[in-house]
């Protein structure tokens, strides 16, 4: 039976539908902070199959290519990464820290967006009395220093090893490789 010209086959239609769903999934995946299950549900997969669908889609070349295209403008250069690690290593909340009557307070009212990179997480705690306390977790300065130290090879353990190596038959093997015979050895003497 001859294939009709100009009409897509069932296989082509199925592939086009899968690619459309993959595009929707990848867009949701990026928007949802790289959470596969949530992205798959948003792309139309059932909750029970969403995790498997996400894993399957992310393994496809098409999804990898789409994801790469989404992220190409967001990638940091090596210089940007080093700059951020340096900024974290040098950063301090000291300008915002106030100590009043033995209690420490952080006043972020004068902080700029450039200062807020030090904040890793804010947590809110409400006491039984209705008081609201906010906890601030700052980025790990020590980790930033370690990463910079690794990059600049500051922490490499170097060990000097001196050894004597003896290989039996090495001389015979080299003579064979270079075509030296016993007659050649005799002529040199």
From first to last of its 189 residues, the chain has per-residue pLDDT tens of: 555 566 878 888 888 888 888 899 999 998 888 889 999 999 999 999 999 999 999 999 999 999 988 888 777 888 988 998 999 999 888 888 888 888 888 888 888 887 888 888 888 888 888 888 888 888 899 999 999 998 888 887 777 788 887 788 888 888 888 887 666 555 555
Residues present in the chain in total: 189
Give the separation between CA 43 and CA 120, rounded to whole angstroms.
30
Q: Say if pTM beats, i.e. exceeds, 0.75.
A: no
Tokens of 61: 């070349």
CATH numbers and ranges of domains, the chain: 10-71 (1.10.10), 76-181 (no CATH)
Give the separation between CA 53 and CA 40, rounded to whole angstroms.
7
List 117's β-bridge partners, or say none: none
Beta strands in the chain (DSSP E): 97-100, 103-106, 119-126, 132-138
Three-state DSSP class for 103?
A: strand
């Amino acid at each position: 039976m001859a294939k009709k010209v100009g009409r897509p086959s069932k296989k082509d239609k199925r592939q086009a539908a899968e690619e459309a769903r993959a595009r929707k999934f990848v867009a949701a995946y990026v928007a949802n902070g790289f959470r596969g299950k949530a992205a798959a549900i948003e792309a139309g997969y059932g909750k029970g199959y969403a995790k498997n669908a996400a894993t399957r889609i992310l393994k496809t070349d098409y999804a990898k290519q789409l994801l790469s295209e989404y992220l190409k403008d967001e990638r940091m250069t090596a210089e940007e990464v080093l700059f951020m690690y340096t900024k974290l290593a040098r950063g301090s909340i000291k300008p915002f820290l106030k100590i009043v009557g033995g209690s420490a307070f952080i006043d972020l009212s004068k902080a700029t967006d450039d200062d807020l990179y030090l904040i890793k997480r804010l947590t809110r705690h409400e006491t039984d009395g209705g008081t609201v306390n906010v906890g601030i977790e700052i980025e790990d300065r020590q980790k930033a220093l370690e990463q910079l130290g690794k990059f600049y090879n500051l922490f490499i353990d170097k060990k000097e090893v001196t050894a004597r190596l003896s290989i039996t038959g090495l001389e015979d093997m080299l003579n064979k490789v270079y075509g030296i015979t016993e007659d050649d050895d005799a002529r040199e003497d």
